[in-house]
Amino acid sequence: MSDSPGSETVRIPTAQGDLIGDLELPARPLGLVLFAHGSGSGRLSPRNQWVASALRDAGLATLLFDLLTPEEGQIDLRAGELRFDIPLLGARLTDATSFVQARPRTSELPLGYFGASTGAAAALSAASHCAVAAIVSRGGRPDLAPQALGSVLAATLLIVGGADDPVVLEVNRWALDRLARAEKRLEIVPGAGHLFEEPGALGRVAELARAWFVEHFAAAGLRCTGRCRTLNSLSLVPWVLATWRYAVGKTSVGRCACSMQAASIARRRLPIAALRWSSTGRRSAAETVS
């Protein structure tokens, strides 16, 4: 992986055609966040662009891309149906994940998803079978991917505006209960609507997302030792070693599924992990009002 920063427009191959994306790499990135935009939007979404810029300032690489091909985008403008096709959108995010995992400059980076609105459902759908370290949902509709929730291992942060439609908060609370295998949290931003257009609201989203990704990309740095059966067992010693390495920062870059699962499960099961303070200086809660 190169130490130098870079920016490029990429073409992500899919069975139906290429997707256009913008890949931004700061020097020595801590991880890579793939953005899944909401319905009727695209890679040029000003809100996602703003959040992505804030993440890059924290040393994270970003990939913003269109979930639909140009031809599909034209069809969607007329019919408005593809933007709600969660299996299709999740598959596109899976294609993008495979794309960055195959590129030399990004193949060793821990991965995360940032999903807005319906893009959050696509992120959860893809994460149910892709090895990613963390997910952040902004004003998401996780109820549109109900079958995926129980299979998600990635640490998942659900961010909802306090002034959004009450149904959105309700479905996010519903999803929180069903994310049975993942570290999870619901964060409510007071006074924020669905688009987080109020003063300071999007900044709070960026702050929460940055802290979540940085923390869990560090956890995903536990390198696979080739003893995945041991790491996934209930044996105490491997969990102690895994948690100690994470807690004291003795991590190295790695993105294999067992590394991420070891970090996530060890944090939940062992006292040393349970006593860690969150990056904001307080203990993490399942639901928090900012």
Q: What is the pLDDT of residues 195-207, one digit of tens each?
A: 898 999 999 999 9
How many angstroms separate the CA atoms of 194 and 8, rounded? 31
Same domain, 177 and 243: no
Mean per-residue pLDDT for 247-275?
41
Q: How confident is the model at residue 41 (pLDDT cuts 50, 70, 90)?
A: low
Tens-digit pLDDT profile for residues 103-118: 999 999 999 999 999 9
Same domain, 172 and 259: no
* 169 pLDDT more than 70: yes
Q: How confident is the model at residue 277 (pLDDT cuts 50, 70, 90)?
A: very low
Mean per-residue pLDDT for 12-24?
92
Same domain, 192 and 251: no
Same domain, 113 and 72: yes
| Low-confidence winner among 63-67, 143-147, 254-258 (lowest mean pLDDT) | 254-258
* 233 pLDDT more than 70: no
CATH code of the domain in which 26 resides:
3.40.50.1820
Number of domains in the chain: 2
| Residue 46: per-residue pLDDT | 85
| Residue 244: per-residue pLDDT | 47
Is residue 99 one of the residues assigned to a domain? yes
Same domain, 240 and 195: no
CB 239 within 8 A of CB 269: yes
> Percent of the chain, pLDDT > 70?
73
Mean per-residue pLDDT for 55-63?
95
Boundary of a domain, candidates 180, 199, 220? 220
Range of the domain at 133: 6-220
Structure tokens given for 271: 């006292």
Same domain, 30 and 168: yes
Same domain, 214 and 249: no
Is residue 281 one of the residues assigned to a domain? no
Is residue 111 one of the residues assigned to a domain? yes
For 249, counting Cβ atoms within 10 Å of its Cβ (0-12 exposed, 13-18 middle, 19+ buried), the class is: exposed
| CB half-sphere exposure, 22, CA atoms < 13 A | 9
| Residue 3: per-residue pLDDT | 58
| Residue 237: per-residue pLDDT | 41
Is residue 286 one of the residues assigned to a domain? no
The H or E element containing residue 189 is strand 184-189
| Low-confidence winner among 9-23, 118-132, 178-192, 259-273 (lowest mean pLDDT) | 259-273
| Residue 266: per-residue pLDDT | 43
Is residue 19 one of the residues assigned to a domain? yes
CB 26 within 8 A of CB 61: yes
* 212 pLDDT more than 90: yes
> Percent of the chain, pLDDT > 90?
55
Same domain, 190 and 257: no
Is residue 180 one of the residues assigned to a domain? yes
Q: Give the predicted TM-score (pTM) of the model.
A: 0.76
Q: How confident is the model at residue 77 (pLDDT cuts 50, 70, 90)?
A: confident
Produce one character per residue of 171-206: b if its CB has 16 or more CB atoms within 10 Å, e if not: bbeebbeebebbbbbbbbbeebbbbbebeebbebbb
Q: How confident is the model at residue 4 (pLDDT cuts 50, 70, 90)?
A: low
How many angstroms separate the CA atoms of 13 and 98, rounded? 10
Query: What are the residue ranges of helices labelled H in the chain?
Result: 46-57, 70-79, 86-101, 118-127, 166-178, 201-219, 228-231, 236-247, 257-269, 271-274
For the chain, how big is the Rg over CA atoms in Å? Answer: 18
Is residue 233 one of the residues assigned to a domain? yes
Same domain, 194 and 258: no
How many angstroms separate the CA atoms of 152 and 127, rounded? 6
Same domain, 209 and 234: no
Same domain, 121 and 141: yes
* 230 pLDDT more than 60: no
How many angstroms separate the CA atoms of 167 and 262, rounded? 34
| Residue 235: per-residue pLDDT | 37
| Residue 9: per-residue pLDDT | 92
Tens-digit pLDDT profile for residues 121-161: 999 999 999 989 999 999 999 999 999 999 999 999 999 99
Same domain, 122 and 241: no
| Residue 239: per-residue pLDDT | 40
